[in-house]
Structure 1
Amino acid sequence: MRTTFNPSPIGPPSIGLIRAAVYNWALARHHGGRFVLRIEDTDLARGRQEYYEPLLEVLRWLGLDWDEGPDVGGPNGPYLQTQRRPLHLDVARQLQAAGELYESFSTPEEVEQRNRAAGRHPRMGYDNADRDLSEARKAALRAEGRVPVLRLRMPSREVVYDDLVRGPMVLRLDATPDPVMVRANGDPTFTLANPVDDALMGITHILRGEDLLASVPRHLGAYLALERIGVARFTPRFGHISSVLDEQGRPLSRAVPDAAVLGYRDRGFLPEAMVNYLASIGWTHPSAGEIFSAAELVEAFDPRRIKPRPVKLDTKKAASMNTAHLRALDTERFTSALRSFATDTGVLPSRLDARQRRLLRRAAPLVRDRARNLDEAAGLVAFLFQRDDSISLQDEEIASRVDRTALRAAAEILADVPEWTEETLQVQLKDGFGEDVAFARAALTALRLSITGRRVTLPLYESLVLLGRESSLRRVGRALGSPGEPAPGSGDRGPVGEPLPPGGCGTAPPRQCELV
């Protein structure tokens, strides 16, 4: 089996496009076949070089390795369609010599006039009128300055076409007007280039968008002609996958921010979670449920399980899947993923020393169980790697939540903590505030903000231990207006906010501590 993914670089890689890549890759891997990447960059009007590299980038990120194609080569190159133009035109000459292609001189206006005269809709399309022009008539038209296109002579036959997704359908090929294969300027069309490339590359199976369903008769006619001249040995099996709609039920366009696959990477999604989500858009795993790995996808993949109906984009489902994949990572793999993302995005230093690496690994289990993506995870650990003098309460919203009287009371308690452990810190602060729950809440809130500078944080006691006594006290001192550790002192206590049970985040164990 040889499958192919043939994207056109006409915009950022989208959900609908890369979903087709996932399916073709999984189909090839399921059967132990080869996955071929070919870039169809012949649409010069819309294609842009800036979109070429992101196509390769997103496939690499998702782990959709290709066996033949750009960067890896192969025996059937080149793999950029614009570089294959001589091959296309050589095959076109063979087809014309065999009578499969013919010269057509009709203009669109003439076709429309003939349709009107015959009582057909004027936009019905080409009427095959030039099939049997005499050589004398062709010469006369050339003398007028006309340049012909080359059209495929569609066969007069009925075929049973078995779609890999939608099942069998009966097509009458001669009900389709003879398509243009080579334009008047000498450029091959998609209807010629695509079948020629598939034939020369030995492609056996293709899963592609349902927008190409209308082109099936033309492509089948082209493959039959290629078989007759010996360029193709068979016609590939096609499957047409459903389109993806946005959350309002409209066709998903590249203008929708959530349609861009690389945007999910930038928001901290795991590649394995994104493969899971892309595969699940209209396809169900027979046994694993909603959450499955790439290996489980490959093992069970069957294109007959792809729903033929359009499917809505579901960003909440994608986020939920990513959270599940994050939770499933062991500490080493999560730490590695977090470090890579956080250094790439500048949240962490590009190089971590041994102490910083140990610190990140210690924090990883706390973060993994609270963050929904790597972006949130990086934000939760950022305070551990910032200089003490860079943590400030300049943000008005954060500063407004800090009761400095309560913070000073907490600082006095912390200064006398004998052993800097979670248990000792919790006991000392709880005993220090006694039964004044409201004041304790204000103090813990102020303490958390002063050491992290963030509204959403890791649990307080774990944060204090990870940060260490010296840095913790220095940050509290800065929040109180002193460059060093806070000086002992106290002030009047007053109730602030609603009661919070002692113990950092209280009884709420969800993803993270959020100050409310």
Structure 2
Amino acid sequence: MVRVRFAPSPTGLLHIGNARVAVFNWLFARRHNGAFLLRIEDTDLARSEKKYIDQLIEDLHWLGLTWQEGPDVGGPYGPYLQSERLHIYRDICQRFLQEGCAYRCYCTPAELEERRQIAKRTGKPPRYDNRCRNLSNEQRKALETSGLNCTVRFKVPEELLVFDDLIRGTCQFDMSLVGDFVIMRSDGTPSFHFAVAVDDILMKITHVIRGEDHLTNTPCHILLFHALGQKPPHFAHLSLTMGADRTLLSKRHGAFSLSEYHNMGYLPEALLNYMMLLGWAPKDKRDKFTASDITDTFEIGTMSKASSVFDQQKLNWMNGQYLREAEIERLVNLAIPYLQAAGLVSADDNAIDRAQLRLIVDAVRNNISCMSQIAQEANIFFKDVVISKQHIEFLSSEITQSILLSFYHELCKRNILSPDIFKDILKTVQKETKVHGKGLYLPVRVALTGREHGPELYGIANILGLDTCKKRIERFLLIRKQVTL
């Protein structure tokens, strides 16, 4: 049975690059009817925080991902927090020491850094020089009695290590350039290499799907698998996600974490869809699809080796497409917190006119790319129009005033206003003024909304109602007089 895992470190918010790794692990498990595990690698006790664990679980659930085993759901191979597995790593470390495949290292951080600098100056690889590997018993005892803290290092054989990557093909590494690496720190916590290999074995992981930045770590993990008498899993290293400037995706490229996109009102299915396009595309080259659409055809080996580029504009376009198709009641529920924060609707949900709000949300959904933009787009329905300086000259021209006056007279002849009535009014104004197209619509739009762009005029007028439309036109009819004075 296929078993994959997503194993983040809870030292910050879950960002797009890491979330993408989770998505492809989840998708691979679905494709092969396997199990998707969530494991929290929190052995960095100084930087790991529970709030980040809680947030990343919330973010992944919001994105639509589910897992069969993890810290919140349990499972047969738990615990799934590495901080709760320290006794396991220490027992296996002790076994390595007894078997002679690991040893205690007494080199201080200052000594190690000095040697790294010397290696750089002399053109040698900045690897550990293995000097503690061959200490005599007397030397070791003397160091132990001196009170120096020690780490535990794994003995790396000087060999050419070769493995096949499901995305990158054959990979090979000269292990003589690596040096003996730490498996247990001086504070008694395991290194990343050690904890990962031990947990992947004990949790029976069959495929390790992770970012290409871990490619150079893989030989060390394979050696640990061999030392534990286990066959390594299959490896697949995903290309990294870059910003538009071809540098690693970071805060300078805009929103960075899943929580930020959630807070801005992106729909999770749109973000999930877009993330699945980073480094992969379905055979039919579609842009818009769901995980269910492509589960049966997804193949990890077809993923690109080249770095993917995160395009915020394309994500905005895609989210806009999903907003246009979403159920209106869902969008209303999403819109309310933003409108309340802007003071446009009552803080009491029960006091909100939801029927009116449905009309407003439906009118503006085509003009927004995320729900947080709705307050700015919809405020024309809640607040009076402000006449900007740039529109005063435009609205004071003779032809514009004639259009508004004709439009106003037609409004006064009506007792109600609807989209069809509004269309009839515009037709009448067109005949009277002999003005067509944008020349006719723009003055009316600016008068009703104070803007040159926005939702369809018919919908705007229907939502504003007859009295509000008349009041706004009346005020704009005064502009010519004000300018003349």
How high is the TM-score relative to the length of structure 2?
Answer: 0.84
Query: Partner residue of 2:266?
Result: 269
Q: Secondary structure at the match of 1:342?
A: helix
Partner amino acid, structure 2, of 1:141: L
**CA-CA distance at 1:282 after TM superposition:** 1.2
How far off its partner does 1:173 sit?
A: 4.3
1:144/1:365 CA distance change after superposition, 3 Å: closer
Residue 221 of structure 1 corresponds to which residue in structure 2?
A: 223
1:210 aligns with 2:212: yes
Contact 1:206 1:239 in 2 (8 A): yes
C-alpha distance in 2 between matches for 1:440 and 1:254: 44
One-letter amino acid matched to 2:199: D
Check whether the contact 2:367–2:377 (CA below 8 A) recurs between aligned residues: no
CA shift for structure 1 position 257? 1.6
Could you tell me whether the CA contact under 8 Å between 1:392 and 1:479 is conserved in 2?
Answer: no
Retained in 2: the 8 A contact 1:9–1:49?
A: yes
CA contact (8 A) 1:112 1:125 kept: no
Within the alignment, does 1:391 sit opposite 2:384 as a pair?
yes
Cross-structure match for 1:84: 85
Tell me the residue number matched to 1:144.
Answer: 146
How big is the alpha-carbon RMSD for the aligned residues of Structure 1 and Structure 2? 3.7
Residue 20 of structure 1, CA deviation: 0.8
- 2:164 maps to which residue? 162
Q: Determine helix, strand or coil for the equivalent of 2:235.
A: strand
Equivalent residue runs for 1:42-81 within 5 Å = 42-44=43-45, 46-47=47-48, 51-81=52-82
Q: Given the alignment, which residue of 293, 306, 328 partners 1:296?
A: 293
Supply the AA of the counterpart residue of 1:279: M
CA deviation vs aligned residue, 1:233-290 (integer Å, no higher than 9, x gap): 5422221111122212222223432433443334433211211111111111122522
Segments of 5+ residues of structure 2 without an aligned counterpart are: none
**Unmatched 5+ residue regions in structure 1?**
228-232, 482-489, 495-516
* Superposition deviation, residue 25 in structure 1: 1.0
Identical positions, percent: 32
Matched-pair contact (CA < 8 Å) for 2:332–2:361: no
Secondary structure, counterpart of 1:169 in structure 2: strand
- Equivalent-residue separation in structure 1 for 2:414 and 2:444 (angstroms): 15
Q: 2:194 aligns with which of 184, 192, 195?
A: 192
Report if aligned partners of 2:21, 2:209 keep a CA contact under 8 Å in 1: yes
Counterpart selection for 1:253 from 238, 250, 259: 250
Helix, strand or coil at the partner of 2:260? helix
1:297 positional shift: 3.6
Deviations for 1:324-371, whole angstroms, at most 9, x for unmatched residues? 3334x2xxx331342132123235556666994344445565544454
Q: Secondary structure of the residue that 1:259 maps to in structure 2?
A: coil
Query: Within 5 A, what are the aligned runs for 1:12-27?
Result: 12-27=13-28
Residue 128 of structure 1, aligned match among 86, 106, 130: 130
SS at match of 1:199: helix
Q: Cα deviations across residues 100-127 of structure 1 (Å, max 9, x unaligned)?
A: 321122346379669979x974653212
Alpha carbons of structure 1 residues 410 and 177: separation in structure 2 relative to 1, 3 Å = same
Aligned residue-pair number: 473
| Distance verdict in 2 for CA 1:433–1:296, change over 3 Å | closer
Residue in structure 1 matched with residue 427 of structure 2 by the alignment: 430
Cα separation, 1, equivalents of 2:311 and 2:24: 18
Q: 1:243 is matched with which residue?
A: 240
CA gap 1:396/1:62 in 2 versus in 1, 3 angstroms: farther
Higher helix share: 2
2:172 partner SS: strand
Matched, 1:342 2:338: no
> 1:116 and 1:370, CA in 2 relative to 1: closer, same or farther beyond 3 A?
closer
Q: CA deviation at 1:304?
A: 0.9
* TM superposition shift of 1:182: 1.0
Asked whether the equivalents of residues 241 and 310 of structure 2 are also in contact (C-alpha less than 8 Å), the reply is: yes
The equivalent of 2:33 in structure 1 is 32
Which residue of structure 2 aligns with residue 283 of structure 1? 280
CA distance in 1 between counterparts of 2:476 and 2:84 reads 64
Compared CA separation, residues 110 and 193, structure 1 to 2 (3 A): closer
Equivalent pair of 2:401/2:477 in contact (CA under 8 Å):
no
Whether the 8 Å contact between 1:323 and 1:373 is mirrored in structure 2 is yes
Counterpart Cα distance in 2 of 1:255 and 1:380: 26
**Distance in 2 of aligned mates of 1:340 and 1:311:** 34
